[in-house]
Structure 1
Amino acid sequence: MAGTVVFDLDGTLADTAADLIGSANEVLARRGLEGLDPVADAAIAFSGGRAMLREGYGRAPSDMLIPPDAEEVDFPLLLDAYDAAIAVHTRLYPGVEAALTRLAGDGHTLTVCTNKPEALAHKLLLELGVRDAFSVLIGADSLTVRKPDPVAYHATVERAGGTVAQSFMLGDTITDVRTAAAAGVRVALVSFGPEGTEIARLKPDAMLDHYDDLPELARGWLG
């Protein structure tokens, strides 16, 4: 019996850290701030644009005043910078395209539930050539709530014509674990994100070491 696979995007389907950090660094540089490191700070990138800005502000010299409205002013600028260079360094993780094809061939419905703004998520998936693989895309601004609120997960599955009971989440952060727990579904985390196998500390229902293994995992959980 086929079901619905709900994917996170950043850090799960694609390594987007370099382009995310590049957009943050462009904005931070306007304030004379040192930027983040695309490798060492990758985990911060996957926590979102605001998290990157806050980290940058926090590294400011002690004698530099950061205005109280800096984040609200800079966040839209970060989104604009990211929109202009969304897939310069970003790449799908190895095996993604083949896994999506196999999952669809097994009858599963594929969806994305991300905290990236919907328009940017749509654009990125188009740039990466896999947008058509997903029947539904829910972004941070698609609803009045976002992950880890279970409403976002439920809406993703239901708009795809599936049932929550016959679905699972694939992600890479604590947000995805909390989303799955709130929705009452199983979650698998990828082990090839910035934390590597250390992400197992979050105690997901399964760890995914390579996309080659995802179709078999889906068969075991969804039939």
Structure 2
Amino acid sequence: MGEDRAGNSGRPRHVAIIMDGNGRWAKKRGLPRAMGHKRGVEAVRELVRSVEGMGLDCLTLYAFSSENWKRPEDEVDDLMNLMRRFIKSDLPEFIANDVRLKIIGDWQGLAPDIVEMLEDALEQTSKGSRVLAVALNYGSQQEIARAAAKAAAIGEVTEKTIAAHLDTNDLPPLDLLVRTSGEVRLSNFLLWQSAYAEMLFVDTLWPDFTPEMLQQALDDFAGRERRFGGR
């Protein structure tokens, strides 16, 4: 992470984004929320296409939380249908661009056809060298509880054994977490992983977030000094 867990941050290996503001983006324009989510997917597509030139090893996106099921049924249906279309349309591009898809969260609790599509996408992209991790049906408190239970089952609950059973156990340590839309909270996302991550909260609504803004966030990160509890 960064360089050597001390001094200037250098190049981040792993960036995570809480993609917030689709609904407000649509409301400001007098559009239905579904249009905000659709434009949000376009922002994801543009960002993923740009990551190769930024030197990131892993980009993690908060796509659908375990709490999002509380939203109106028609909105959840719109989100699920967008997910289906995104997987179908972008899988060939992931393969061509050496992207390995990883899903974190209780994604196997999604609709059976989506689970089947995700399983196929995971298999087809398994050889990719750069990771796009997508949080689906994800809640960090639930993830930590699952990891602790697995650690207890092997007879030793420590920071090391819990970390080994997190959904992100095979990813680089989280360096930078970005949240769009002006909200300043983590919303049950990567709580364990964020212990020493740098954080950046921006006012931009997610559909308006551009690759240039991500690059600016990386530049901001490079100027920070990370002490990891030291001096």
- TM-score under structure 2 length normalisation: 0.36
Larger RCO: Structure 1 or Structure 2 (Cα < 8 Å, ≥ 6 residues apart)? Answer: 2
- TM-score under structure 1 length normalisation: 0.36
